[in-house]
Amino acid sequence: MLLGPALGVSALLFAIGVGGVLLRRNAIVIFMCVELMLNAVNLTFVALAQQIGPQGQVIVFFVMAVAAAEAAVGLAIILAVYRHKESVNLQDVNLLRG
């Protein structure tokens, strides 16, 4: 039931997330796009679980917990960079060059 469209939507969401990470330069926006990717995968899991069994739905809870932990760590790191640079734009974060 609706497996194809659900997988299509989640693939689209994932692609939007990837595009955002590659094109945007603001660390917060990039982080939001990463979250969008994770949630697109969650949608895939839920859609597949309808056909395969409840395991996919359980995985989603693990992913949500991981995403929450990632948000805590990620925002703290972004804050640490902001303290040094007064900016979260990646163009201003350029001390390390080879």
Partner 1 sequence: MTPMLIDLSAPAGITLALLPEIVLTGWALILLLVIGWRHGDPDHHRWAGGFTLVGLLVALGTVLWLWRAGATPDGLPLMIALDGFRWATAAIFLIGGIAAVLLAQGYLGRERILVPEFYALVLFAMVGMLLMGGAADLIVVFLGLELMSLSVYVLAGIKRRSPQSAEAALKYFLLGAFASGFLLYGIALLYGATGTTNLQAIALQLADSEIVGRPMLALGAGMLLVGFGFKVSAVPFHMWAPDVYDGAPTPVTAYMAAAVKAAGFAALVRVALTALGDATAAWQTTVWWLAVLTMVVGNLVALAQRRLKRMLAYSSIAHAGYLLVAVAAATTQGGSAFLFYAFAYTLMTVGAFAVLAAVGRDGESDLLIDDFNGLAERRPWLSFALAVFMLSLLGFPGTAGFIGKWLILAAAVDAGQATLAVMVVGASVLSAGYYLPVIMAMYMKPSERAEVAEGARLARGGRLVVAAAAVVLLLFGVWPNRALDVARDSGRQLAVPGVIIGLPR
Could you list the residues that contact partner 1 (CB under 8 A)? 7, 14, 17-18, 21, 27, 30-31, 34, 37-38, 40-41, 44-45, 48, 52-53, 55-56, 59, 62-63, 66, 69-70, 73-74, 76-78, 80-81, 83-85, 93-98
State in angstroms the smallest separation of the CB of 16 from partner 1. Answer: 12
Q: Which is nearer to partner 1, 9 or 56 (CB)?
A: 56
Left, alpha or beta for 86 (phi > 0: left; psi -120 to 50: alpha)? left
Radius of gyration of the chain (CA): 17
Distance of CA 40 to the CA centre of its chain: 8
Q: Minimum CB separation from partner 1 for residue 2, in Å?
A: 14
Separation CA 79–CA 72 (nearest Å): 11
